[in-house]
Amino acid sequence: MRVLIVGSLGGQLHTATKIAIDRGASVSQVDTIQQATSHLRAGRGADLIMVDLSLDVQALIAANEAERIIVPVVVCGVNVRPEAAAAAIRAGAKEFIPLPPDAELIAAILEAISDDERPMIARDPSMQTVITLADRIAGSDASVLITGESGSGKEVMARHVHAKSKRAGAPFISVNCAAIPENLLESELFGHEKGAFTGAVARRIGKFEEADGGTLLLDEISEMDTRLQAKLLRAIQEREIDRVGGTKPVKVNIRILATSNRDLRKAVADGSFREDLLFRLNVVNLALPPLRERPADILALSEHFIRKYAAANQVEPLPLSEASKAHLVAREWTGNVRELENAMHRAVLLATGREISPDAIRMPDGSVFSGSGNTAVRQASDAANAAQRVMVGMTVAEVEQDLILDTLDHCLGNRTHAANILGISIRTLRNKLKLYTEQGVTVPQPNQPAMGASVA
């Protein structure tokens, strides 16, 4: 975890730095917004920026966005007026930390920011075989191609390989090739010189140089344009890159990992991927089996996510019932680990009693969970069609009221759980319910389902 502190933090710089370092972060500090932007342009990187609220936070966030530098920002201040903190949040800051800093609050924020660094959880023999191969080759500098369905844990595996490698103490930099527009990806990877194109107001170090000494993950590499594939091939072969607008090559010392959810051999056959690049990347292939083929992992991951989201929502982690375990293992999990995580998050919010029953493991549309993947798809489709028929002729306010009351009904009247599921604040929910009560609508009370609350 790399933390960049901007400003003096109201005289609390030393204390905040010590807390962050004690929690395992490496800390850099600059005095001004301009120095912060220069620090990030130069490729020194940061996973979190802590900014003194007395500085122009909005200008820093705007400068980052202009450079496509995506780093979460938290603001800090002493005796801050609530409206000032609110303005910083509206400008794009993720959180406000009052000063003097609280060690537990900073620890929680660091933990939340580093949540992408998920542990490798594998109990199933099919997955353990892949991990054994990963551990065997981790110490080399060989390029690795990690393949598998979307949501199966390819980036988690990449981080595992990096953590087991001799480069573990150096940066791990990830680039999602599918998320960056084609005309910007070259600059993102290789950097650019000042004046190289419109908007290039200063030299910008690319991800190759930022990862120098460490590992560069090219996520979903199959989405990269073939023209850029040629430049990538040269960078891998020669271990040097050319910044956009540059006049001389720059040497880099990195290890390349790449992921794909597509069959790259088919992509080679249809001409959308270079065969020579595939050979360079595919020195070792780690093929992750889909979650439906890893039944032992389903339960291990479920229990991990239950503990995680119970802690996040400050509720007691409940065990899975035997019926729930059977349903979880039977499901196809077309969305793999990502789908399972979302299901367990909902289950933590909806569970009542002393264990998590199948009733708490619901689909995103609110339908009751089914162990059969095909049945679940039919249920979701039927629910969507039924909802569409019911909503025709209703006003937006009526649809909103039905949604709120139905969600509250599912949560047995629990306001906090319902607000979390609806994605609104508890205050907003209470204001809505107060309005409905004043209109004579029956509103579910805690542990009491609604009695015909729907609007006709």
pLDDT value, residue 319: 94
Between residues 210 and 104, which one has the greater pLDDT?
210
Between residues 372 and 91, which one has the greater pLDDT?
91
389 DSSP 8-state letter: H
Counting every residue, how long is the chain?
A: 456
Q: What is the pLDDT of residues 30-61, one digit of tens each?
A: 999 999 988 888 877 788 899 998 899 999 99
Instruction: With cut-offs at 50, 70 and 90, classify the pLDDT of residue 78.
Output: confident
371 DSSP 8-state letter: S
pLDDT value, residue 378: 44
pLDDT value, residue 306: 94
Q: Rounded to an integer, what distance in angstroms lies between the CA atom of residue 214 and that of residue 172?
A: 6
Q: What is the pLDDT of residues 348-369, one digit of tens each?
A: 988 888 999 988 887 665 555 5
292 DSSP 8-state letter: G
Sign of CA dihedral 201, 203, 208, 213: negative
Is residue 347 within 8 A of residue 361, CB to CB? The reply is yes
**What Cα–Cα distance (Å) separates residue 181 from each residue in 15, 167, 188, 227, 308?**
41, 30, 10, 14, 34
Q: What is the pLDDT of residues 267-306, one digit of tens each?
A: 999 999 999 999 999 999 999 999 999 999 999 999 999 9
* Mean pLDDT taken over the chain: 84
Instruction: With cut-offs at 50, 70 and 90, classify the pLDDT of residue 29.
Output: very high
pLDDT value, residue 369: 58
pLDDT value, residue 455: 38
For the chain, which domains are there?
2-116 (3.40.50.2300), 125-287 (3.40.50.300), 292-377 (1.10.8.60), 393-456 (1.10.10.60)
Does the pLDDT at position 225 exceed 70? yes
Sheet holding 73-78, edge to edge: 26-30, 2-6, 48-52, 73-78, 95-99
Q: What is the pLDDT of residues 368-413, one digit of tens each?
A: 555 544 444 444 444 444 444 455 566 777 878 888 888 887 777 7
Residue 137 φ then ψ, to 5°? -100, -5
Residue carrying structure tokens 């560069």: 216
pLDDT value, residue 314: 81
Q: What is the pLDDT of residues 117-136, one digit of tens each?
A: 567 889 999 999 999 999 99
Find the distance separating the first CA and the last CA of the chain, reported in whole Å. Answer: 53
